[in-house]
A and B are shown apart, each in its own frame.
Chain A
């Protein structure tokens, strides 16, 4: 029963959700339909999060459940559906910084919101951002950093994107605990956020604005 799967995911019952997904697959349900069902459940969690009724652990746990379900039902190497993407995001933690929690959450949530997200990981060199923007034809770039030492790395990444002639093509957001408007101005980014809610809002403004 699809309703059962949605409920199990929204209630964060991992074992039950995975068992249900496996049963649906065995009963002949299209794997993509199972994933779509799961994605809808994740959007419910995402909405609760946006309204302050759910917290990051719910998002992470929902993501873990979806990961387990995907592993069970999807054939190896299946990629994300990019056809209905709201926009393409390249995201990473800037060079010299290896913190990943905030970046991972923003990547997860933007993915749930319908963006096609390419996560470059941590300690990402400027040239990797530039290459990824070109390769994926990105609309938005997310630069993450937890250390105040990341400010210079953010600035040099923004400068590097400009030097590659890509600055007008993308909107750049910076994120992380220590950033604020002063840091945004210093780095030359287009927007800043200290939590995932800010990131989603900015992405929505930028993509709707361009539509």
Chain B
């Protein structure tokens, strides 16, 4: 429980993040630039009228890789090359923050486990294509009760074996809740391990996968030091959490399964979302503490305008999402809400969250001008510059659209310039023009 006088977790984290205390700055100028940028981002989320429009990158991916160039495959396996790509890209583009390779996971993490939820460049796809997630029914409709009764058991003995053939032997373990009887049930557990050599192999596969992650984390740390400490760019993408509906739909039941469940077993689905909620909240809070980062990012998937009715959004999607956001805000944390797909009809819900606590990302399908109208004085918005526009349009077309965005959405503060989704194929001159329009705004209108 929080007390009025007590400093909230988020307050300390914001101060630390803005100070850059976690970085070794190349020089005083880098420190000052970093601090000014970080403060501008916080002030913009807080809806202060700074007279400036920060420019942030949703995720640059192939756009960055092309600076070396490196393929998607190499970006997931040869971190030194990918490191150079990100450094060169951010040296060449005047963003006010960075998002790095947080989603360009190490290929070894998946490969060691033959993880079947992903299709990888170099294995299933050409080297120059992005890895992609596979959505399937990993939890059967009749398993809701089993999950609700003992989630860890279901995850260990059902979910993991379905996600990875290397982890199939875990299904042979006895439920850990059986460690209750004579000698704590130890004979059953160790016998299961001894009788199934695959259990040991499964542990070795986990270890190998983990070693890839260790190497990758070390690389993310080097990127943070280089982009933060030398190029003075605050790291925008920190801890994460998920809307409970998305967890069920993306990771357990698949989209079709989650739709059928809304009609066929709504009580079970709601019970599971309520079960997931406190865990997600804690996951976000723990992530913020571990990373020393005050902005928790929520990528939203299945609640877009076209994916369910408003009534379904209000019954199934929003209630636990709202509680999750409110829980994070209660801790003093800020929330980067990454809406995906058209979100026009849902925007008004974000007014139910205390003002100046959220940064709402808009993809190009959402009407940014409507969003400004709906959320002015309530939450900061960002994004919307179409990836297709940046990839295929002329510099003049990009300038015209961004200029309109800056003038309308930038008015009075509470707006950041950003593109719609992954940059990938964008033309450099278009991205630079988008940035230039945002920077010009501060000089010409204040």
Chain A residues with CB under 8 Å of chain B are 12, 14-15, 54-58, 60-61, 64, 96-99, 101, 123, 147-149, 151-152, 177-180, 182-183, 185-186, 194-195
Contact = CB atoms under 8 A, between A and B. Distances in A.
Interface string B379-394: 0000000111101110
A123 B119 CA distance: 11
Contacts of B132: 97-99, 147
Interface stretch (B201-209, B307-315, B347-355): B307-315
Contacts of B260: 14, 60-61, 64
B60 to A, nearest CB: 12
A31 B365 CA distance: 43
B263 A12 contact: yes
Contact of A96 (B129, B307, B341, B391): B129
Contact of A55 (B134, B263, B312, B364): B312
A147 B424 contact: yes
A61 B263 contact: yes
B263 A151 contact: no
Interface string B129-140: 110101000000
A58 B312 CA distance: 11
Of A15, A57, A64, A194, most buried by chain B (CB within 10 Å of CB) is A57
B361 interface: no
Contacts of A98: 119, 125, 132, 134
B129 A14 contact: no
Contact of B365 (A123, A182, A194): A194
A178 B312 contact: no
A149 B424 contact: yes
- Chain B interface secondary structure, helix, strand, loop or mixed? loop
A154 B134 CA distance: 21
Interface of B: 62, 119, 125-126, 129-130, 132, 134, 255-256, 259-260, 262-264, 306-309, 312, 341, 363-365, 386-389, 391-393, 420-422, 424-426
Contacts of B341: 177
Contacts of B262: 57, 61
Contacts of B426: 148
A16 B119 CA distance: 39
A186 to B, nearest CB: 5
Given A149-B424, A151-B425, A195 B306 contact: yes
B259 A149 contact: no
A174 B393 CA distance: 18
A166 B420 CA distance: 35
B126 A182 contact: no
A56 B308 contact: yes
B256 A123 contact: no
A186 B130 CA distance: 21
20 contacts: A56-B306, A56-B307, A57-B259, A57-B263, A57-B307, A61-B259, A96-B126, A98-B134, A99-B132, A123-B119, A148-B387, A148-B388, A148-B391, A148-B426, A178-B388, A179-B388, A180-B388, A183-B388, A183-B391, A195-B306
* 3 nearest A-B pairs in the assembled complex, by CB-CB distance: A182-B392, A96-B129, A55-B309
A65 B442 CA distance: 56
Contact of A60 (B259, B264, B392): B259
